[in-house]
Chain A
Amino acid sequence: MTGMKPNELMTGGPLRNSAGVELSLANAKLEHENDRLRALLIQAGVDARHTEEAAALASERARELAAIVASSSDAIISKKLDSTITSWNAAAERLFGFTEEEILGQSILRLIPAERHSEEESILAQISAGEIVQAFETVRMHKGGRPIDVSVTISPVRDGAGQIVGASKIVRDITERKRGEEHLRRSDEFARTVLEASPDCLKVIGADGRLDYVNQNGVCLLEVDGPSAVVGQPWESLWPEASWPKIRRAIEAARSGKLIKFTAEAPTAKGTSRHWDVSIAAIPSQDGHPIRFLAVSRDVTEKIRSEIALIESESRFRAAVEAVDGIVWTNNAVGEMTGEQPGWSALTGQTLAEYQGFGWSQAVHPEDAPPTIEAWNAAVAARELFEFEHRVRRHDGQWRHFSVRAAPIFDTGNQIVEWVGVHTDISGQKEAAAHREFLMRELAHRSKNQLAVIQGVASQTARSAGSLEEFRQLFARRLQGMAISVDLLVTQQWDGAPLSDLVRRQLEPFGADNGRLLCEGPDVFLVSDAAESVGLALHELATNCVKYGAWSFPSGVVWVSWTLDRDGAQPPQLRLRCTERGGPAVTPPTREGFGRRVIERMVAQKLGGTVDLRFDVTGLEWTLSIPPTQFAGAPPAAGQPPFDRLN
């Protein structure tokens, strides 16, 4: 070979392949955009091997090659096995900062950081063994001491005898790529950190609708054992079937570049009910990757629950306000009435301006207002339930009794927000209580009076009874007679009793059967006092009749008749007559016992009437006349319409 051979550019000798064939630089491992260079080198090598005649052409190729080396954007350096640099192209000067003059003959170690000097040994070892060091990434040093990220490919250089005499190095500056990679790495890390740190369930969904990724919080929220439980599964499968159309629509809409949001319920893997706020957006396709989707599912179960609870609590409050038999009002935190108070306004007729602050107390009874305000201020200061009773002037001017209760509402910081109070009209209760009290007093009075009556019955019976046994019988019968009258009165709400009923009920117990009692008279209704007194008289008459009169004989009869008699212009009187017949011959009694005093005097006296008592020899005849204040015609039958309604 003559002239400048291509291999001399690097080493001063031709290059050979592993079989010893001279290849010039044909087997130099040049990568990337140096393909063209490599092709040229191969071509040049082939030419050099086969045709001595083509030396001129080879020389031309070598020059061309030299031009390419000179113009290469990668640093191309050759060195001897002792590490002395033998060639240095322009790219090497740009990369390392050394000019050719500065560096030729220098050790390659000038370019290697001190801590990496050992690399050179292993490189040399490989080169010496005829191996090629493939695109190995390392750090080299700029003239100024700055480290440079590089990719180095080193090939052995052989002389004409095939002896390895040096190495050629192609050094590529990969600082930019490194920086890009670092950026990407950091950006990936950042993204991952963000995804993992999110409290939401984040998922990346592939174009096929299956999960590519789920973050750790998503694993927790979904209550699965790990990402593997869901990654690879269709996203839909995490949802109840009813939600599938919604999911598909969301994906389709996201595909067109929209950010889609929806809320749906889906149980976790363990069946816990959860509500999710879902956002889904497409991750644009890049680097040939198909479109993917980012789904962010936020667990809003608690929020929805508390919203529901709030709605429920509000409607409960509204229902309570409706249901409460009273008016509801609010006061501010310091216990002043502010704002619209429709309930209070409707109750008292006060306007907003009138009830503002403590103006409401103007509607409270003057006697009750000062203690009310005092108690109210105490409750506000103590932050305790307020309970009070006072009188309030209603809009119509009427004083009504109210029970008042008010409770403070606290915020989460335990500060009073406002007071809610209820005024309940207890006037009815007060009246009922007063009435009850009256009834109790009345009952006590009547009971004691009744005891006094019974005492009188006992005492009067004792005076006339000949023996204890007779006393017992008479006493019991008198009480029974009184009880009969009470029974009749009770069935008529104590208004009175029909006379015919009274006669029969009082006399029948004395054996007035078998037609021995004859009653005759119009419907008459005795008022209650008259019923009691007439009942008593009938009882005493019957007692006497059984003992001394008609009913002491088997054939004796008693005829009871009554008429309404009109004496001239006077209002009618009730004339009630008892006539005994068929008994023993009557002799007037010598002694005036209790029974006689009752029938002869007291009943008439009590009822403002008169009595005519005759001891006819054929039988006793008793006639009681009582004034119209003591009786009425029979009350109209229930349901009978008044005449005016018929017209």
Chain B
Amino acid sequence: MSQVLNLHAHRVLIVEDEIFIAADLECIVRDAGAEVVGPAMSAPEALRLIENHEITAAVLDVRLGDHDSLGVARHLEAAGIPFVFHTGNAGSEISSNSWPQAPIVRKPASPQALLAALAAVTKK
């Protein structure tokens, strides 16, 4: 890894309903020095975690079973908390127009790509 991505002092919420992906994201974010909140596997759980933890950033899977994380995204946006979308979807639910400040990281993504996106939004 050429770049050193430091997410120290960040508390990152992970919203992901696939167990393996959630476990992997947890490791990736933690390895980058951040504290992991979650992973949350549903929108209500994510909102509850936002309430109870002072998170500084989030990684959102868009589709959660039969639901989605767009409500969580709106909540984060309102709270001024930066986030990135992590999705396999080409973008019918979200578009950069609706969430200009949120990068979309396409699944499957390399850990570096995800961390770079997180680093970018948290620097703003």
- Docked complex Cα distance between A594 and B108 (Å): 19
Contacts of A455 in B (CB 8 A): 21, 24, 108
Contact B107 A451 (CB under 8 A): yes
The 0/1 profile, CB within 8 Å of A marked 1, for residues 10-28 of chain B is 0000000111111111111
Q: Does A480 contact B (CB under 8 A)?
A: no
Pick the residue among B18, B42, B109 that contacts A453 (CB under 8 A): B18
Contact B107 A448 (CB under 8 A): yes
In this complex, what residue of A is CB-closest to B26?
A597
Contact B18 A449 (CB under 8 A): yes
- Docked complex Cα distance between A444 and B109 (Å): 15
Pick the residue among A452, A529, A594 that contacts B21 (CB under 8 A): A452
> How far is the CB of B49 from the nearest CB of chain A, in Å?
11
Contact B22 A444 (CB under 8 A): no
Contact B20 A453 (CB under 8 A): yes
List B94-124 residues whose CB lies under 8 Å from chain A: 106-109, 111
Q: Does A174 contact B (CB under 8 A)?
A: no
> How far is the CB of A303 from the nearest CB of chain B, in Å?
66
- Docked complex Cα distance between A441 and B89 (Å): 8
Contact A457 B17 (CB under 8 A): no
The 0/1 profile, CB within 8 Å of B marked 1, for residues 594-622 of chain A is 10011000110110100000000000000
In this complex, what residue of B is CB-closest to A482?
B20
Contact B18 A459 (CB under 8 A): no
Q: Does A533 contact B (CB under 8 A)?
A: yes
Contact A606 B17 (CB under 8 A): yes
Contacts of A453 in B (CB 8 A): 18, 20-21
Contact B45 A452 (CB under 8 A): no
Pick the residue among A448, A456, A598 that contacts B88 (CB under 8 A): A448
Q: Does B92 contact A (CB under 8 A)?
A: yes
Contacts of B26 in A (CB 8 A): 597
Given contacts A448-B108, A453-B21, 10 further A-B contacts (CB under 8 A): A447-B88, A449-B88, A449-B107, A451-B88, A451-B107, A456-B23, A460-B20, A460-B24, A594-B23, A605-B39
Q: Does B80 contact A (CB under 8 A)?
A: no
Contacts of A529 in B (CB 8 A): 65
The number of chain A residues with a CB under 8 A from chain B is: 28
Contact A441 B109 (CB under 8 A): no
Majority SS at the chain B contact face: mixed
Show the binding face of B for A, using Cβ within 8 Å.
17-28, 39, 41-42, 45, 63, 65, 88-90, 92, 106-109, 111
Q: Does A463 contact B (CB under 8 A)?
A: yes
- Docked complex Cα distance between A456 and B89 (Å): 17
Contacts of A472 in B (CB 8 A): none
Q: Does A36 contact B (CB under 8 A)?
A: no
> How far is the CB of A485 from the nearest CB of chain B, in Å?
12
Q: Contacts A452-B88, A452-B107, A452-B108 known; A606 to B24 CB distance under 8 Å?
A: no
- Docked complex Cα distance between A452 and B18 (Å): 9
- Docked complex Cα distance between A594 and B27 (Å): 10
> How far is the CB of B31 from the nearest CB of chain A, in Å?
10
Contact A603 B19 (CB under 8 A): yes
Contacts of A452 in B (CB 8 A): 18, 21, 88, 107-109
Of B20, B63, B88, B107, which is in contact with the most chain A CB atoms at under 10 Å from its CB?
A: B20
In this complex, what residue of A is CB-closest to B27?
A463
> How far is the CB of A178 from the nearest CB of chain B, in Å?
111
Q: Contacts A441-B90, A602-B22 known; A451 to B108 CB distance under 8 Å?
A: yes
List A563-614 residues whose CB lies under 8 Å from chain B: 594, 597-598, 602-603, 605-606, 608
List A415-472 residues whose CB lies under 8 Å from chain B: 441, 444-449, 451-457, 459-460, 463
Could you jot down 11 A-B contacts, CB within 8 Å? A445-B89, A449-B88, A452-B107, A456-B24, A456-B25, A459-B24, A598-B23, A602-B19, A605-B39, A605-B41, A608-B42
Closest 6 CB pairs of A and B: A448-B88, A456-B20, A452-B107, A456-B24, A449-B88, A452-B108
> How far is the CB of B62 from the nearest CB of chain A, in Å?
9
Pick the residue among B23, B42, B89 that contacts A602 (CB under 8 A): B23
Of B23, B39, B92, B106, which is in contact with the most chain A CB atoms at under 10 Å from its CB?
A: B23
- Docked complex Cα distance between A456 and B106 (Å): 14
Contacts of B42 in A (CB 8 A): 608
Q: Contacts A449-B88, A455-B24, A605-B41 known; A536 to B19 CB distance under 8 Å?
A: yes
Contact A456 B21 (CB under 8 A): yes
Contacts of B17 in A (CB 8 A): 606
- Docked complex Cα distance between A457 and B23 (Å): 9
> How far is the CB of B55 from the nearest CB of chain A, in Å?
17
Contacts of B22 in A (CB 8 A): 456, 602
Contacts of B18 in A (CB 8 A): 449, 452-453, 456
Of A453, A533, A598, which is in contact with the most chain B CB atoms at under 10 Å from its CB?
A: A453
> How far is the CB of A450 from the nearest CB of chain B, in Å?
8
> How far is the CB of B7 from the nearest CB of chain A, in Å?
18
- Docked complex Cα distance between A441 and B111 (Å): 25
Contacts of A454 in B (CB 8 A): 20, 108
Pick the residue among A446, A448, A463, A606 that contacts B19 (CB under 8 A): A606
> How far is the CB of A633 from the nearest CB of chain B, in Å?
22
Q: Contacts A441-B92, A444-B90, A448-B107 known; A460 to B23 CB distance under 8 Å?
A: yes
Contacts of B106 in A (CB 8 A): 448
Contacts of A456 in B (CB 8 A): 18, 20-25
Contacts of A603 in B (CB 8 A): 19
Contact B19 A533 (CB under 8 A): yes
Contact B23 A597 (CB under 8 A): yes
- Docked complex Cα distance between A602 and B107 (Å): 21
In this complex, what residue of B is CB-closest to A606?
B41
- Docked complex Cα distance between A460 and B21 (Å): 9
Contacts of B89 in A (CB 8 A): 441, 445, 448
> How far is the CB of B73 from the nearest CB of chain A, in Å?
18
> How far is the CB of A547 from the nearest CB of chain B, in Å?
19
In this complex, what residue of A is CB-closest to B21?
A456
Contacts of A441 in B (CB 8 A): 89-90, 92
> How far is the CB of B102 from the nearest CB of chain A, in Å?
18
> How far is the CB of A111 from the nearest CB of chain B, in Å?
126
In this complex, what residue of B is CB-closest to A532?
B19
In this complex, what residue of A is CB-closest to B109?
A452
Contacts of A598 in B (CB 8 A): 19, 23
In this complex, what residue of B is CB-closest to A597?
B23
> How far is the CB of A476 from the nearest CB of chain B, in Å?
15
Contacts of A451 in B (CB 8 A): 88, 107-108
> How far is the CB of B120 from the nearest CB of chain A, in Å?
21
- Docked complex Cα distance between A243 and B24 (Å): 96
> How far is the CB of B116 from the nearest CB of chain A, in Å?
17
